[in-house]
């Protein structure tokens, strides 16, 4: 963010507040997945996903590292793009499950809508950056 968008309280702290509200969801989901690791692997394996355990570890890593990068504002745009592409892929995998899910259709629909909201927030973050209170901004000023 540059120019007049950074002036005043909202311009200075708005992006920081948004990052602090957004990233803990990612970090929290990563820790929930770690806690329920075996249950998640078994549940995903039942849905015939290949390499379930590898995908689960990848998911935990992306959510945890991406969430931390967003909180501190380091490589924020890159983290946002990587996470958006990841959530887009996960969401695309979930869509076919809607029809075959039986009583779980509403749960999958909720997950899809949640992922679309994540993607929207990540796109905004990728486009507008982390704001003036971030490591990225400080690194840019030091050049």
pLDDT digits (tens, 9 = 90+) for 82-138: 999 999 998 888 777 676 656 667 777 888 899 999 999 999 999 999 999 999 999
Show the domain range for 121.
3-142
Q: CA 65 to CA 46: how far, in whole Å?
A: 28
pLDDT for residue 12: 85
Query: Rounded to the nearest 5 degrees, what angle is found at the Cα of 22, between the Cα atoms of 18 and 23?
Result: 120
- pLDDT tens digits for 30-81? 988 887 776 655 555 555 666 667 778 888 999 999 999 999 999 999 999 9
Domain total in the chain: 1
**Whole-model pTM?**
0.81
What's the pLDDT at 39?
64
Q: Which tokens belong to 99?
A: 């029809």
CA distance 120 to 18: 13
Q: 48-80 burial, b for 16+ CB within 10 Å, e for fewer?
A: eeeebeebbeebbebbbbbbebbbebbbbeebb
């Amino acid at each position: 963010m540059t120019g007049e968008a950074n002036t005043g309280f909202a311009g200075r702290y708005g992006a920081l507040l948004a990052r602090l509200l957004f990233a803990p969801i990612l970090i929290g989901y990563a820790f929930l997945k770690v806690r329920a690791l075996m249950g998640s692997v078994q549940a995903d394996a039942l849905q015939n996903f290949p390499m379930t355990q590898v995908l689960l570890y990848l998911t935990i890593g992306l959510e945890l590292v991406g969430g931390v990068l967003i909180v501190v504002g380091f490589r924020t745009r890159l983290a946002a793009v990587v996470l958006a592409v990841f959530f887009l892929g996960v969401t695309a995998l979930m869509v076919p499950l809607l029809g075959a899910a039986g009583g779980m259709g509403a749960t999958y629909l909720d997950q899809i809508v949640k992922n679309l909201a994540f993607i929207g927030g990540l796109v905004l973050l990728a486009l507008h950056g982390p704001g003036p209170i971030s490591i990225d901004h400080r690194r840019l000023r030091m050049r």
